Amino acid sequence: MANNYYDAADLRKFGKITEWSEELGNKFFEYYGKVFEEGALSAREKSLIALAVAHVVKCPYCIDAYTKDGLQKGITKEEMMEAVHAGAAIESGATLVHGVQMMNKYDKLSM
Amino acid sequence: MATKSLKARQDELAQTNKQLEILDGGIFADGELPYFKDKISEIGHFPLRPKKLEILQINVGYMCNQVCEHCHVDAGPDRKEIMTKETMQQCLDIIKTTGAHTLDLTGGAPEMNPNFRWFVEEASKAGIKDFIVRSNLTIIRANKKYYDLPDFFKKHNVHVISSMPHYTRGKTDKQRGDGVFDKSIKALQELNAVGYGMPDSDLRLDLVYNPSGAFLPGDQMAMEKDFKKALLEDFNIQFHNLFAITNLPISRFLDYLIASENYEDYMYALVEAYNPAAVANVMCTNTISISWDGWLYDCDFNQMLGLKVASKVKHIKDYNEDILNDRNIIISQHCYGCTAGAGSSCQGTVA
């Protein structure tokens, strides 16, 4: 076993999770595949959403996968970076909006 | 960006046996990934056999005005392999009698062959149904002597298929060289101006997209939609169909994969995307590829790997379609490129 937590080559083995729990694994991959099909949103739009979320959840496997997926779908690097910023903006906004809670508490405790 | 072919650089990978060694070795030899032969055996397609011959693809020479990074031909200005008029005459003789409905001229830049126009004029008289010339577009703007090519193509009712890696400048120039995008746009506008690619026009103009890097092409229909929208909105350009073609791991693309440490991942991606449904329709089952010096191959890729057909008939001088069609197609691991996803051929997806 490698002496580090993340190995890029592990992404290729993702499908193997099914081996230890076939029913749940298969259900997951079936669901996953369905989610990214063309629907009310295009596969291209979903790929950009996935890329943004990949950054927010800080999943290196997902970042590799959806950068490649974006390239395959002809998504430009400018579009990819804007998607990352959309994720980052929500993430930082989520931190900052808690500032209101801090302000409320401060005001409550202060004379 | 390369300015010379692998051959001119005397790169080890210019030797076809070196390429085949890589394709047969490494992750395939140590069993990490299955050989293509084993994969198609599972579905009863080994040995791979031809179906009815539909396409004669003639490579009139490896000389090109561009040195694209991904080129499977290793074409460039320094390549001197050019089909002679005598070999062209031999090709014309078989074009007149072939059962194939499509004639497909490729290169290099086929227009750079000094006898290209004579050949097109003569071949167009043979009454073949679909007469394709694969033009890299920039050749039309490369020199005054090529400026009238759109009219020449029109006169002979040639079906033009052109490479266009992306509808943005950055990606196109990265793969094909600085200035390629602007020249290609200008050439497409000129083709449109004489009627090529217009919605109801019989003058067919199709584009070929192949990925500018170590990844597979996306869905052909979706890419076509994106290309059509962007080219029309930004440049008022129209075309008929987009063919999404997978880069095969040979020649300069193989060199790129190895140098960028993407080779293993790319082979994994190809094997993972293997689609058994694509196997029955791979282009080597309906195509014969003829090289500049008259040798016969299962496809243009096998030509570049030096893998001549496994038939008694190996050269155009002995051409016999019946004998030729009774052969086993030569395969190696590069063939995974034609069976990935929706499949890939010079005519786009196959599955």
Query: By CA distance, what is B265's nearest residue in A?
Result: A9
Residues B76-93 have pLDDT tens digits of 999 999 999 999 999 999
Distance CA B199, CA B207 (A): 14
Q: Which two tokens stand for residue B150?
A: 């759109």
Whole-number Cα distances in Å, B323 to B312, B318, B319, B326: 7, 10, 9, 5
Compute the average pLDDT of residues A12-19.
94
B215 and B261 Cβ atoms separated by less than 8 Å = no
Distance CA B321, CA B97 (A): 10
Average confidence score pLDDT of chain B: 94
Interface probe with A: pick from B219, B266, B270, most Cβ of A within 10 Å: B219
Smallest CA–CA distance, residue A44 to chain B, in Å, is: 9
Show the domains of chain A with their CATH numbers: 42-111 (1.20.1290.10)
Set of chain B residues whose Cβ sits within 8 Å of the Cβ of A44: 222, 226
Contact B268 A12 (CB under 8 A): yes
DSSP bridge partners of B159: B132
Residues B241-252 have pLDDT tens digits of 999 999 999 999
Does the structure show a pLDDT above 70 at B314? yes
Whole-number Cα distances in Å, B182 to A21, B71, B189, B206, B248: 54, 20, 11, 18, 27
Distance CA B339, CA B331 (A): 12
Does the structure show a pLDDT above 70 at B2? no
Query: What's the pLDDT score for residue A3?
Result: 83
3-42 in chain A: CB under 8 A from chain B = 12, 38, 42
Contact B215 A43 (CB under 8 A): no
pLDDT grade for B168, boundaries at 50, 70 and 90: confident
In this complex, the residue of B211, B226, B268 whose CB is nearest that of residue A71 is B211
- Interface contact A81, partner B, CB < 8 A: no
Residues A92-110 have pLDDT tens digits of 999 999 999 999 999 999 9
Does the structure show a pLDDT above 90 at B179? no
Smallest CA–CA distance, residue B249 to chain A, in Å, is: 17
Cis peptide before B150, with omega less than 30 degrees from 0?
no
Does the structure show a pLDDT above 70 at B1? no
Interface probe with B: pick from A11, A45, A68, A71, most Cβ of B within 10 Å: A71
Does the structure show a pLDDT above 80 at B169? no
ipTM for the predicted complex? 0.79
- What's phi and psi for B135, nearest 5 deg? -110, 135
Compute the average pLDDT of residues B40-57.
95
Set of chain A residues whose Cβ sits within 8 Å of the Cβ of B171: 76
Q: Which residues contact B206 (CB under 8 A, 6 or more apart)?
A: B159, B160, B161, B162, B239, B240, B241, B242, B243
User: Could you give the 3-state DSSP secondary structure of residue B191?
Assistant: helix
Show the domains of chain B with their CATH numbers: 12-338 (3.20.20)
Query: What's the pLDDT score for residue B347?
Result: 87
Query: What's the pLDDT score for residue B350?
Result: 87
Query: What's the pLDDT score for residue B178?
Result: 76
Query: What's the pLDDT score for residue B177?
Result: 74
- What's phi and psi for B315, nearest 5 deg? -130, 150
Nearest residue to B210 via CA among B248, B161, B247, B168 = B247
Query: What's the pLDDT score for residue A46?
Result: 97
Residues B121-136 have pLDDT tens digits of 999 998 889 999 999 9
Whole-number Cα distances in Å, B270 to A34, A52, B33, B215, B265: 22, 26, 10, 9, 9
